[in-house]
Chains A and B, each alone.
Chain A
């Protein structure tokens, strides 16, 4: 199993100063740039440690938010491509449907792949609903733009002998020719995220690495949708390396300290949904049928425990988060067991996206958390024998 360490690089000092929203309309007056500078340097130091410890790295972006200071993935990737030596650099993700210019995306990612000497993993995502406010992209055509940008970027990365022309529905170029060309052949691995079975089927057909977050013990259903369409398209079962899962990870030598850390890292899931109501669901972001149900007062269940109980991540305590497989927490032995059990539940999961820093976890705690994980848990996860992929695929077919 590969493990990617991830932090949202939060500006937590302002978390208690909001009046109902930490995103979109939360004024940046609440951000002291001197404090932000200290925090960002600290977060990049922690990524350097991650690299030295033999773990891989994941970055993402959010806009207009005190929950995440990385507002463009390219800045984070550019810094990391130069200051790390061996970690794979996963961007999960790049909201390409929002970006005005996919040629620029192709150029940025190709350059990062070259500087990092082929360490880029390239996650393309739709983006959460609140991001619409920043890009002002029309939410009703976001996925059409996403797929055209996706097609364009891959063609731009894999065309080497002649310039090409593109006159699509959303993007127009007459002389496409990306320099420098990508380091990895034919292009960096493509990843994406989803929470729905419908999108999982599309990703399965394409064979991309699919990540979920917050799906807990409801993850198997989404993985199985992927498995089914993967088998139909490729004639064999997808390996565990096609699946990724974002989990909060808190490790310590004693349970009490681990729980303290888990509680601080869970600040991420508790603050993440704090956003003014109208920005949570822009029109067209969900299908009209789902919106009709929301108007009726129904809400889609998101996170489940192993026993099928629904968990509200914003209010859940750490025991509930652990029951749901959202948080892996405890001594190294316990954390290994929890992750292994989760992989068994999934029928195989080969990429742990580990939030080893979150919320107000201090630098010292983060360093210890990452170090202990890397020394005590990671080697066992690398040796972990994934459930048989063909058997998992057969179970779906049956």
Chain B
């Protein structure tokens, strides 16, 4: 095979998958009890596996790999997080999920908000960690660092509290995981290139989210600022803001246990 030729994506038959509207995606299910749908961040499903296991101690976790990421197919014409949100509304219907705790990180949190503004009918609670998706500052103020103008090393330094957690040795990783990293970067660009990591329409729709909502925030995030997160929370009626220490932009990856504990406590209604 030569450079420039596309490889066909081969699905491992052993990997659980689901077909929604003709699009096959990977989907992990762990644990039992109340359904919790986990929406991964722009860095894909692998960095979320530890958090998914930790969440599964207190819920039935359903963790799809978004279209375009990992080995999941990307339907032609799907190009916005708004498109993705309809895909997941169909998935809820297909699996007949009810009283779902919807949990997302970063791009996954943006996606969760896009779903919730359309319908909370199947949702019980919403948790958004280090969420992107809205424009807070004026037109000449960058709310979100231009990560596509950074090298991977520079990005890891601003995104993580401990850069070692985010550093990957691509030469040692299996082929599928390296390809997944490349596909994650491409899919993220597809959904978040322009407008950059936000939907200009979303802010004015957030008032429609009338279910208990928690904004979690890895305090070492230097891709987003904490004031951005607090402004986001202020736009969702009654939303609560909760920091996670010693974590950056991907708190589920850096502090999976603390992340899962906070999510489960909120979902189980243990918080006042």
Task: Report which A residues bind B (CB closer than 8 A).
Answer: 25, 133, 136-141, 169, 196-199, 276-279, 282-284, 286-293, 295-297, 300
The answer to whether A283 touches B3, judged by C-beta atoms less than 8 angstroms apart, is no
Closest to B6 in A: A287
The answer to whether A291 touches B185, judged by C-beta atoms less than 8 angstroms apart, is yes
Chain A nearest CB, measured from B101 CB (Å): 31
Within 8 A of A (CB), among B79-108: 79
The answer to whether A288 and B183 touch (CB under 8 A), given A139-B193, A282-B189, A283-B148, is yes
The answer to whether B148 touches A282, judged by C-beta atoms less than 8 angstroms apart, is yes
The answer to whether B189 touches A284, judged by C-beta atoms less than 8 angstroms apart, is yes
Closest to B177 in A: A292
Chain B nearest CB, measured from A164 CB (Å): 23
The answer to whether A296 touches B185, judged by C-beta atoms less than 8 angstroms apart, is no
Interface size on B, residues (CB 8 A): 28
Among A277, A278, A283, A290, residue most surrounded by chain B Cβ atoms (within 10 Å): A283
Task: Report which B residues bind A (CB closer than 8 A).
Answer: 2-7, 77, 79, 148-151, 170-171, 175, 178-179, 181-183, 185-190, 193-194
The answer to whether A297 and B170 touch (CB under 8 A), given A290-B4, A291-B185, is yes
| A287: B residues at CB distance < 8 A | 4-7
The answer to whether A140 and B171 touch (CB under 8 A), given A287-B4, A290-B3, A290-B4, is no
Chain A nearest CB, measured from B193 CB (Å): 4
Closest to B179 in A: A292
The answer to whether A292 and B194 touch (CB under 8 A), given A197-B4, A278-B149, A284-B189, is no
Chain B nearest CB, measured from A294 CB (Å): 8
User: In whole angstroms, how far apart are the Cα atoms of A287 and B186 in the complex?
Assistant: 9
| B2: A residues at CB distance < 8 A | 197
A198 interface neighbour in B5, B77, B170, B181, Cβ under 8 Å: B5
User: In whole angstroms, how far apart are the Cα atoms of A169 and B186 in the complex?
Assistant: 20
Closest to B187 in A: A140
The answer to whether B148 touches A278, judged by C-beta atoms less than 8 angstroms apart, is yes
| B6: A residues at CB distance < 8 A | 287, 289
Closest to B79 in A: A141
Chain B nearest CB, measured from A195 CB (Å): 8
| B190: A residues at CB distance < 8 A | 138, 140-141, 284
| B186: A residues at CB distance < 8 A | 140, 283-284, 288, 291
> 24 pairs across A/B with beta carbons < 8 Å?
A133-B149, A136-B193, A136-B194, A138-B193, A139-B189, A140-B186, A140-B189, A141-B79, A196-B3, A197-B4, A199-B4, A278-B151, A283-B189, A284-B189, A284-B190, A287-B7, A288-B183, A288-B186, A289-B6, A289-B179, A289-B182, A290-B4, A292-B179, A292-B182
Chain A nearest CB, measured from B188 CB (Å): 7
Chain A nearest CB, measured from B139 CB (Å): 14
Chain A nearest CB, measured from B200 CB (Å): 15
Chain A nearest CB, measured from B83 CB (Å): 13
| A286: B residues at CB distance < 8 A | 4
The answer to whether A297 touches B171, judged by C-beta atoms less than 8 angstroms apart, is yes
| B189: A residues at CB distance < 8 A | 138-140, 282-284
Chain A nearest CB, measured from B192 CB (Å): 9
User: In whole angstroms, how far apart are the Cα atoms of A197 and B190 in the complex?
Assistant: 25
